Structure formats: C-alpha cells, structure tokens
Amino acid sequence: MKTKQAVGPMEQLFNQLGSALMAELRGQESLALSFGAENSQFTRFNGSRIRQTGLVDDIGLSLDLIDQQRQASGSIALSGILQEDLQRVAAELARLRAEVSELPEDPYLVVPVAGQHSHSDQHAALLAPEQSGAKLLPAMQGLDLSGLWTSGRIYQGHLNSAGSRHWFASDSFVLDYSLLNPDERMLKACFAGTDWQQSEYEQSLQASAQQLKMLQRPAIRIQPGHYRAYIASAGVADMLDMFSWNGLSESAMQTGESAFLRMRSEGIRLSALFSLAQDFSSGLAPRFNQYGEMAPERIALISAGELKHCLTSSRTASEFGVASSFADDSEALQLPVMATGTLAEADILAALGTGVYLSNLHYLNWSDVAAGRITGMTRYACFWVEDGEIQGPLESMRFDDSFYHFFGDHLEAVGAESQMNPNVGSYGGRELGMTQCPGVLLSSFALTL
C-alpha cells in the first residue's frame, strides 16, 4: 500500500465544490461539508458459484448550514461532472437557506470552529473487477462457499467555513465467507487486505478448508443452563458492537438509555481483567467527524473494569455541560480495542475444561437494557468440550446474559492474542473500521433455549 500526496480527481472535485460554496456564504452563515464516495465491486457467491456481480459508483455531499442559531442539513447525490455538480450544490445551498430561517432555534448546535487539517490517501494494488471471477473462483471449487467479495476505493472528506480541511481515501478488499460441510455445519472466515496477493488468498482458503474438517463429528445437543464458556474473538467483537447501541454514548447515558448507567450511578465495576478503548492508531478509519474536529488517537473507555469515559460529541457536550471527546453525533465505537490478557491460545481448551467453545455469535439484541442483558444465538464452529477435549460441534443455542456478568464477575481469563475483526457492513455504503479484541473465558454463561 502506498501513500500519495498528489490531489486525485475525487479530492479535486470536493475542493472545487467546497470553494464555490464557501464563496457564496452571506453574513453570519456557517457551512460544513462532508463528502463521501465509493467505487466498489460486489460479488455474491452461493455454493462456490456466482450469484450476483456488479459495480457501484456512488458520490454524495452533505451540507450543514447554520444561521441565527438555527441549522438545516441536506445531502445530495453528485454526478462526478464538475459543471453539473456545481449547479446541484448551489441549488441545495439555496434550499437550505430558504428553510433555515423558519426553523426553531437550536441551543445546542455546534458552530464550526477554527480549523484542523488532516490528509490520508492510500493506494493499493487491487484485483481488476473484470478478472475477479477468474482469480477467485478456481480455488473455491470443491468447497461449498457462500459469501461476498467486496473490493474498491472509499473516500471521505470534510471542509467547513472556519477552515477545517480533511481528506481520507483508501483501497481495500474483503472476502467475507462461510464454508459448509455436507451436514450443513458452517465455518466463518474473512480474508481482507489492501494489496492483492493470489498465493496468500489460496493459502488462506485452504487453511479454512482444513478447519472445516473439525466439524465432521456428530452434533451434540445440550440442555439450557449455565455453562463454562470460551467465546472467541469474533464472538467478543459481536458483544462489543452492542456497546454502540444504548451503550458507551454520553448522550445515551444522559438521557437514561445507556446500559452502562449503573456503572456511573451505582459505581458498579466490571472485571479488573476487562479494559476497552477507542483507538485510531491503526489508521483504518478517519479521526475527523462531521464538525471537522479530530478525535484523540486513543481514549480509554473502561480501564480494569472501571468506567472512565463515554464517547461524547460536541453537541452532547454543549447540551449537558460535559467535555467533548470529539466523537461524531452517533457516539458509536469506530475502532474499539479490547486489552489482551494472559490466556495463551494453546491453553484455551485445558482452561475451559468442560463447557462450550463459541467461535461466533449471531443476531444480538438487548433483552433488558438497564440490566445490561444481551440475547443472541451461537453460530458457526461452536463445540462441546469435555476435560479439555473437543467432543463435537454444538447444536445452535440461544444465550441471554448480562455483560455485568460475562465481562464482570464471570470473566475468568482474557486471551493473550488479539484478532482484528473488520467491519464488513454496507448499509447505505461500505463501512470503515474494525474491532480488535481477544477471546474470553467465562466461569458461567447462560444458555436459554
């Protein structure tokens, strides 16, 4: 992967539209612009055959206009053709200007302040879209693979009338897939990166195929109850994803909707083995937000079980009189990093003894927010283990347990090795970010159905 300083056509388009709009501002108007674009290939596989394939070129610009303590916002699609897009953005500014004056005052709006700057433009050698079938499919033959190939470039930018200027662009690919055996036992895997290496891809796929053989034994059904459990990194990442929803948001905390309320109001702690931070040092997602502010590179959220910070936008800071951590308005985790512990990979089964080994979880939801209780399903390569030996794959079970237990008094050990779990979501557009975390060993985990 290479970093380029030269301004590419997409950044040039954004800069030209930004300059034109800023020149149109009147009086006390403030304007913030957020640019988002992607050139993406999406190819779906079912049974190691191609189900659907295509390319998406999407470009959009968001405008936040502030005047007289009022704010109106809009976003429009761009064509990528400068003259046409200049007309579109001018029309949108006129629409916002007409609307903003009739809106009620917003006492907590965030006015752009004197600017910060950042620039990241990373290029990689990706597979040519019209060759992806020929490169990807041969190695899949003989396997039952379902999944999605995503490859291409993502752009994000910010400009505001106070002078902030940010640009982030990167190339990446990810093959997110499931392998199935004839008994419908499934294994989940992900091959992600920047520069394409054919041999690494083929080796990775072969390694997954080898792991699938572990699922050949007859499935084991267990009764609902409380079991010792090891939850591998991908499952822990699913749990941590829940913390972006009624979780570690200062706004959710202040309005009573956070599952972490008891940690603040009652001083409850999680296990001293559990620490979580938001950490941008990997560079996999931009640090700037829709106000042009830069989040700190690292912020401790929970340290040794103690709640230290919640993600706080400047809007929340303004409303509730707290300090901003320059989160965006969603106050969601973008790059969560959970601290590792001491449980070595080779010692996991022995430490588990008798219990369940859970590689992945599925369809999580809060079942009782105030109690921190989360329900979901086990999925993929999960096993019943006796005396440190895998006995066979586990039939899917529902769990319903509180993080106050599984990251609290039931957390026995934390894995010594951390894995990166890339964010493969694409609602609205390809998402950036990942969750870096180890697995966890629990003295008890509630399986309910």
What residues from 17 to 76 belong to the interface with other proteins (CB under 8 A)? 40, 42-44, 46-60, 71-76
By CB under 8 A, the residues from 135 to 164 that bind other proteins are: 137, 146-148, 150
Q: What is each CA distance from 196 to 127, 137, 261, 430, in whole angstroms?
A: 6, 15, 45, 19
Q: Which stretch binds other proteins (CB under 8 A): 16-24, 27-35, 78-86, 300-308?
A: 78-86
- The residue range among 112-120, 230-238, 371-379, 432-440 that interacts with other proteins, by the rule CB under 8 A, is 371-379
Is residue 266 near other proteins by the rule CB under 8 A?
yes
Three-state DSSP class for residue 154:
strand
Residue type, 89: V
Minimum CB separation of residue 114 from other proteins in Å reads 25
Instruction: Decide whether 339 or 447 has the Cβ nearer to other proteins.
Output: 447
- Selected from 163, 196, 366, 443, the binder of other proteins by CB under 8 A is 366
Q: Which residues pair with 389 in a beta bridge?
A: 386
Residues 223-262: x where in contact with other proteins by CB under 8 A, - otherwise, as a string? --------------------------------xxx---xx
DSSP 8-state symbol, 327:
B
User: Within positions 379 to 398, which residues make up the interface with other proteins, using CB under 8 A?
Assistant: 379, 396, 398
Smallest distance, Å, CB 64 to other proteins? 9
Which residues are CB-contacts of 266 (< 8 A; sequence separation ≥ 6)?
Answer: none
For the beta carbon of residue 431, count every other beta carbon within 10 angstroms.
15
Taking the least distance from each CB to other proteins, the nearer of 231 and 348 is: 231
Shortest approach of other proteins to residue 315 CB, angstroms?
Answer: 9
Task: Name the token pair of 236.
Answer: 């822990």
Is the separation of the CB atoms in 289 and 327 below 8 Å?
yes
Q: What is the DSSP code (8-state) at residue 184?
A: -
Nearer to other proteins, 225 or 425 (CB): 425
User: How many CA within 13 A on the CB side of residue 78?
Assistant: 25
Closest by CA to 403, choosing from 412, 394, 411, is: 411
**Which residues in the 416-435 window bind other proteins by CB under 8 A?**
425-428, 430
- Nearest Cα neighbor of 391 from 382, 402, 399, 380 is 382
Among 235, 373, 383, 435, binds other proteins (CB under 8 A): 373
Q: How many CB atoms lie within 10 A of CB 218?
A: 8
Give the interface segment with other proteins, choosing from 225-233, 277-285, 363-371, 381-389 (CB under 8 A).
363-371
Binds other proteins (CB under 8 A): choice among 301, 310, 369, 434 = 369
Out of 362, 416, 419, 444, the residue judged to bind other proteins by CB under 8 A? 362
Greatest extent of the chain over all pairs of C-alpha atoms, in Å: 74
Compute the least distance from the CB of residue 341 to other proteins, in Å.
Answer: 27
* Total residues binding other proteins (CB under 8 A): 90
Of the pair 140, 352, the CB lying nearest other proteins is at 140
Contacts to other proteins from residues 90-119, by CB under 8 A = 92, 95, 99, 102-104, 106-108
Rounded to the nearest 10 degrees, what angle do helices 132-140 and 198-212 cross at? Answer: 30
Give min distance, CB of 416 to other proteins, in A. 29
Distance CA 291, CA 317 (A): 13
Nearer to other proteins, 40 or 435 (CB): 40
Binding to other proteins (CB under 8 A): which residues in 274-333? none
What DSSP assignment string belongs to 231-287? E-HHHHHHHHHGGGTTTSBHHHHHTT--TTHHHHHS-----TT--EEEE-TT-SS-S
Report yes or no: 66 and 109 within 8 Å, Cβ to Cβ: yes
> Could you tell me the smallest distance in angstroms from the CB atom of residue 102 to other proteins?
4
Residue 91 C-beta: closest distance to other proteins, Å: 10
Sites for other proteins among residues 395-414 (CB under 8 A): 396, 398, 400, 402
**Nearest-approach distance from CB 426 to other proteins, in angstroms:** 4
Tell me whether residue 280 or residue 407 sits nearer to other proteins (CB atom): 407
**Cα separation, 205 vs 104, whole angstroms:** 57
What are the two backbone dihedrals, phi and then psi, of residue 265, each rounded to the nearest 5 degrees? -80, -30
For other proteins, the closer CB: 119 or 398 = 398
Q: Quick check: 389 and 397 in contact, CB under 8 A?
A: no
Q: How far apart are CA 391 and CA 348, in angstroms?
A: 15
